[in-house]
Structure 1
Amino acid sequence: MTVFFSKACELGIQAVLYLSIKKQNVIVSADEISQELKVPKEFVSKILQKLTYHGITGSKKGKGGGFYLAKNPGNIRLIDIIEAIDGLDIFKSCVLGFPGCSNENPCPVHDKWGKLREEAYKMFSEETLSQLKEKTIQKILNL
């Protein structure tokens, strides 16, 4: 687990990346995703339902049901997934949790964290699922 995002967010990113390497409009069961990512099916389903609510994934109920990308992979950025699950507070708040941390009243790591936070936000905002497809395929194959 990382310090940056919740476990749910990490899994949400992984699940959406997994869906992005499938052919467009292919419905993938939560069972398949959970087996491929080696996580509980119920956890996958709950997170993907949240992403469906936010319009990133879609779902089909019943026999042959599952999840699919609701948008073209070139139109989904990693920041969209992060915002839907964890929100964007990590990119706005003090990394040490000090209330009122600001440029005028900085915490001990304010300046360094500010630069890292900006770079991280920029990276997650620029990367689309399409741009990450080949690297995702390699990672999934090596799980």
Structure 2
Amino acid sequence: MQLTRAADYAVRVMIHLAGLPPGTRVSRSELSTSAECPEQFLCKVLQSLTRVGLIASHRGNTGGFELEERHRSASVLEVVQAIEGPIHLNVCLNHDHGCSRQSWCPAHDVWAEAQRALNEVLGHATISGMAHTLSSRGGPMTIAPMK
């Protein structure tokens, strides 16, 4: 199982925005540079993050993208699910589809345990915490806020 590039880029964008002062707006092209993502591809990621309310989009000369303050402490799981939808390591874990083997299949228990662990790790990792870690490690914050 591997997360999509879109989910990875979304997490990168969110970490960057969380590392900026509240209310700071950043252009799409600057976010593209920061996330090391093609701008055309990033458009779709930004639309998804805006649609679920994790970030806000503003038009005009003072426009750009900014982190919605109430989501500064969003979990990585929330960001990934905004892009990917619910994460299921195996189809048998998808409650909408289920599995006729679930009650007796020993693999189901392993998949379910792995799913719980993944959700726990991603659910406890916050975007603001990751931005703080980036800053404390001297990581690049390459984007200057828009004036």
AA matched with 1:103: Q
Counterpart in the other structure of 1:104: 103
AA matched with 1:27: R
Aligned counterparts of 2:141 and 2:114: Cα–Cα separation in 1: 29
Alpha-carbon shift at residue 105 of structure 1 (Å): 4.4
Relative to the length of structure 1, the TM-score reads 0.79
Counterpart in the other structure of 1:118: 116
Counterpart in the other structure of 1:29: 27
Counterpart in the other structure of 2:145: none
Q: What SS is found at the alignment partner of 1:25?
A: coil
Aligned counterparts of 1:49 and 1:140: Cα–Cα separation in 2: 26
Q: Taking every aligned residue pair, what percent have the same amino acid on both sides? A: 22
RMSD of the alignment, in Å?
Answer: 2.8
Alpha-carbon shift at residue 56 of structure 1 (Å): 0.3
Aligned counterparts of 1:139 and 1:113: Cα–Cα separation in 2: 37
AA matched with 1:33: L
Counterpart in the other structure of 2:126: 128
Give the gaps of 5 or more residues in structure 2: 143-147
Listed one character per residue, the Cα deviations across residues 79-122 of structure 1 (whole Å, up to 9, x for unaligned) are 21122111114267348xx971653143x743333222111101
Q: Which runs of structure 2 are paired with 1:7-86 in the superposition (5 Å)?
A: 7-86=5-84
Aligned counterparts of 1:90 and 1:79: Cα–Cα separation in 2: 12
